[in-house]
A and B are shown apart, each in its own frame.
Chain A
Amino acid sequence: MPEPFVKHTGTAVALLRDHIDTDQIIPSREMKTVSRKGLADGLFAGWRYAEPGGRHPNPDFALNAQKAHGASVLVTGKNFGCGSSREHAVWALAEYGFRAIIAESFNSIFHGNCLRNGILPITLDDQHALEGPTWTGGETVTIDLPTQTVAISCLPEWVGRFAIDDYPKRLLLEGLDPIGLTLQSSDLLDAFEARDREARPWVYADYSAAKAD
């Protein structure tokens, strides 16, 4: 299970573009093994390295700047994580060290993948606040999940707020095992299935086996 997320203070790095897709976050060619591990090197590989498949840093990419060293909070635009459902994108971000992403909006599958891997996806109630600071990278961001607030070093008077539903909040705060949690309701699942088998028997019959006989 991922490390619980309660309060986090870390360095921010900004990639201020819209529609950053999961092919950019982790190119398919970087998904070399059947494991969830070993993906951090491939994070943003197409932008981060000077040559495709190479490992020489591209000095123009924000993540390679000295002040972005050790960054753990990513600040970005709308529809972040669009495209492929590959959870490898989130595994790569998590392994690199990211704990939170502040975006104007998220792709829905990517958003769910973040919650399952200890990364807090944040969409601020007041989006305009972030237009104020000029993100140069290296800002310190403090995120408090219980109070659902964000503080940024370059905006000393400002406190950002964000909404999060109870279930994802619990997942992150407690580092819950969602499967274990659901299986606590096994009686409900079994009762539903018994009723449903009566109501929709065609869903449960294995027709291919019958036809093969």
Chain B
Amino acid sequence: MATYFDHLWAEHRIAAADSVYDLIAIDRVLLHERTGSVALSALAEKGYNVRDPSRAFAIMDHIVSFREGRGRDEARSPGGDAFITQTRAMAKAAGIHLIDTDDPAQGIVHVAAPEQGIALPGLTLVCPDSHTCSLGALGALAWGIGSSEAEHALATGCLRVKKPEQIRVQIDGALEEGVTAKDLTLYLISEYGASGGRRAAVEFCGTAVAALSIEERLTLCNMAAEFGAFTAIIKPDAKTLAYVRGRPFAPSELSALSSLTRIAQTCTDDRSRVIAVNASEVRPRITWGTSPEDAVPLDGNVPAHAEAKRLDYMGLSGGQAIKGLAIQGVFIGSCTNGRLSDLQAAASVLKGRRLAPGVRGVCVPGSWAVRREAEALGLDEIFRHAGFEWGAPGCAMCFYAGGETFPPGSRVVSSTNRNFEGRQGPGVRTHLASPAVVAASAVAGVIAAPSDLPSLSEVA
């Protein structure tokens, strides 16, 4: 019997390219300004056209400034505007959809694509960005590629791909109060390693996955990139259909997607390789080191015999408690945790509280849509009152795109996906955690859980 992944693979299989590789039809190609102009220029230089511009999208997100009131071409680093202006020019010349820096639909690709209905159940979708696996949360077969592969997909409408191994990650039981999809993914990566995904297509199954909202599923699938998977996927269900209904690029009539959802639910979950997780055993997690696999329970310690290079970079000693470490910065945003529910989780901790002295707080909503919804709910006031900068959508604070960031050596708790050396700026020490833990740490001035904060009545 076929898995849902098998079903989508077969549906998109144009032909066998040889005994191992298949030609797989690609329904949507997404680009961003970091790689978009390179791919489109290279294609033009070689004399190839985009096969179907109506199914290709360029979304500005990577190096655009997060400054509120940013200019149309304003990038984070000197000379960065060329990435924006060239991608705009090349996208227009190629006739593909362009979601520009000042478009109300603009946002981080993996936040904006679901919001706009560009990512849909049953589609194959590729983007020269490793977190494209996020979109598997909608039941799409979506994966990250390099620029050269993006050129191939644009020119031919297909990719030559070897069908990956499949892993079922079965997550049953209920997450406890205060435990999030971010904690689940950090748990998985730390328990099975940063290459535990074995370049496989990982399907998340089980009652805990069914119980997650679409936004939480996007977070869970997002960090399949840090798990070393080819991609992640979750079968579409009634929640998925309800989510995509009425989105700008989604079909007005959902009968085809409804029948796909019925097919998905009859597909088998059986696979030879299974990872079983009991959701009720997962605790809030945070990373201590320079790989996402370096995650421990929030009330845990740095491993006693951790690699010296990782400890040195992070300014830590083996065996040290994580909680209570003094911090200088916090960041809330990114394709992992930059959606409305993430901002709500952080705001519920920040309401009526302020950043600890000496801590810089930045919140960058994942898209203009998220920002508008947050403002309608008054969340921006909570963030601003707490002393946070309230930014314009983009990726730039998650990876260091240049310009001013947190100072070298500063310890930052971040709702992002990568704690690599220098990821958020030269010498910056990033600890990955859920938005609520980021917010609690911001207020405490040290790494802390929301439950560690004195209640507001005590403070008053």
Contact = CB atoms under 8 A, between A and B. Distances in A.
Interface stretch (A23-31, A67-75, A126-134): A23-31
B228 to A, nearest CB: 6
Interface stretch (A135-143, A153-161, A196-204): A196-204
Interface in A165-213: 165-167, 177-179, 182-183, 185, 188-189, 192-193, 196, 200-208, 210-211
Contacts of A87: 35, 38, 128, 146-148
Contacts of B82: 33-34
A109 B117 contact: no
Contacts of A113: 146, 148
Contacts of B11: 200
Contact of A46 (B17, B228, B418, B422): B422
B187 interface: no
Nearest to B157: A189
B408 interface: yes
Given A29-B77, A192-B25, A183 B156 contact: yes
Identify the interface centre among A34, A83, A116, A185: most chain B CB within 10 Å of its CB.
A34
Given A167-B21, A179-B155, A192-B14, A83 B248 contact: no
A192 B13 CA distance: 9
Closest 4 pairs between A and B when the two form their complex, measured CB to CB: A52-B426, A79-B195, A116-B148, A113-B146
A82 B421 contact: no
Interface of B: 11, 14-15, 17-21, 23, 25, 27, 34-35, 37-38, 41-42, 46, 48, 52, 54-55, 77, 79, 82-83, 86, 97, 117, 122-123, 128-130, 144-149, 151-152, 155-158, 160, 162, 164, 194-195, 199, 225-226, 228, 230, 248-252, 256-257, 291, 293, 309, 399-402, 408, 418, 420-423, 426-427
A85 B406 CA distance: 24
A178 B155 CA distance: 11
A71 to B, nearest CB: 21
Given A19-B291, A87-B35, A178-B152, A105 B249 contact: no
A34 B37 contact: yes
B421 A23 contact: yes
A24 B421 contact: yes
A90 interface: yes
Given A79-B195, A116-B149, 13 more contacts: A17-B309, A18-B195, A28-B399, A29-B402, A31-B34, A34-B38, A35-B38, A78-B195, A109-B145, A113-B148, A167-B20, A205-B251, A207-B248
Contact of B199 (A17, A108, A178, A207): A108
Nearest to A117: B148
Contacts of A78: 195
25 contacts: A18-B195, A21-B291, A23-B422, A32-B79, A33-B82, A34-B82, A46-B422, A83-B130, A86-B34, A87-B147, A107-B199, A112-B146, A113-B146, A117-B148, A165-B21, A167-B20, A183-B155, A183-B156, A188-B15, A189-B157, A192-B25, A202-B251, A202-B256, A203-B55, A211-B252
A193 to B, nearest CB: 7
Contacts of A179: 46, 48, 151-152, 155-156
Contact of A27 (B34, B35, B226, B400): B400
Nearest to A165: B20
A49 B129 CA distance: 27
Contacts of A189: 14, 23, 156-158
Contact of B18 (A29, A167, A211): A167
Contacts of B130: 83-85, 109
B39 to A, nearest CB: 9
B422 A82 contact: no
Nearest to A111: B199
Contacts of B422: 23-24, 27, 46, 52
Contacts of A82: 194-195, 226, 228
Contacts of A107: 195, 199, 228
Contacts of B25: 192-193, 196
B399 A23 contact: yes
A32 B402 CA distance: 9
Given A33-B79, A34-B86, A117-B148, A182 B37 contact: no
Contacts of B309: 17
A183 B35 CA distance: 23
A146 interface: no
B146 A109 contact: yes
Contact of B23 (A24, A105, A166, A188): A188
A182 B249 contact: no
A203 B130 CA distance: 24
B195 to A, nearest CB: 4
B428 to A, nearest CB: 10
Contacts of A8: none
A39 to B, nearest CB: 12
Interface in A3-27: 17-19, 21, 23-24, 27
B26 to A, nearest CB: 11
Contacts of A182: 23, 152, 156, 158, 160
A166 B20 CA distance: 8
A53 interface: yes
Contacts of B27: 203
Contacts of B146: 85-87, 90, 109, 112-113, 116
Nearest to A201: B256
A107 B194 CA distance: 10
A36 interface: yes
Contacts of B42: 36
A99 B82 CA distance: 31
